[in-house]
Amino acid sequence: MTIETVSKARACGGTQGVYTHASSATGTPMTFSVYVPPHDEGETLPVVWYLSGLTCTHANVTDKGDYRRACAELGLILVAPDTSPRGDGVADDPAYDMGQGAGFYVDATQAPWTPHFRMWTYVTEELPALVGAHFPADMTRQSIMGHSMGGHGALTIGLTFADRFRAMSAFAPIVAPGQVPWGEKALGGYLGDDPAAWRAHDAVALIEDGARVPALLVDQGDADQFLADQLQPQRLADACRAAGIDLTLRLQPGYDHSYYFIATFMPDHLRWHAERLR
What are the CA-CA distances from residue 251 to residues 146, 183, 217, 259, 274 (Å)? 17, 22, 11, 16, 22
CB 202 to a second copy: min, Å: 29
Interaction between residue 12 and a second copy (CB under 8 A): yes
Nearer to a second copy, 79 or 108 (CB): 79
Interaction between residue 59 and a second copy (CB under 8 A): no
Interaction between residue 260 and a second copy (CB under 8 A): yes
Interaction between residue 69 and a second copy (CB under 8 A): yes
Interaction between residue 52 and a second copy (CB under 8 A): no
Taking contact as CB under 8 A, which single stretch among the options 8-16, 104-112, 117-125, 146-154 is the one that binds a second copy?
A: 8-16
Q: List the catalytic residues.
A: 148, 224, 257
Give the list of residues 6+ apart from residue 52 with CB closer than 8 angstroms, or none: 58, 60, 61, 80, 81, 82, 83, 146, 147, 149, 150
**Options 4, 43, 63, 125; binder of a second copy; rule CB under 8 A:** 63
Distance (Å, rounded) from C-alpha 200 to C-alpha 235?
Answer: 16
**Options 2, 9, 210, 278; binder of a second copy; rule CB under 8 A:** 9
- Give, as ranges, the residues between 205 and 224 that touch a second copy (CB under 8 A): 221, 223
**Options 29, 66, 192, 227; binder of a second copy; rule CB under 8 A:** 66
Going by their DSSP bridges, the two strands 77-81 and 137-147 should be labelled as: unpaired
Distance (Å, rounded) from C-alpha 154 to C-alpha 173?
Answer: 9
199 burial (CB, 10 Å; 0-12 / 13-18 / 19+) is middle
Interaction between residue 21 and a second copy (CB under 8 A): no
User: Where do contacts with a second copy occur on this chain (CB under 8 A)?
Assistant: 9-13, 16, 63-66, 68-69, 221, 223, 252, 254-256, 258-261, 263-264, 267
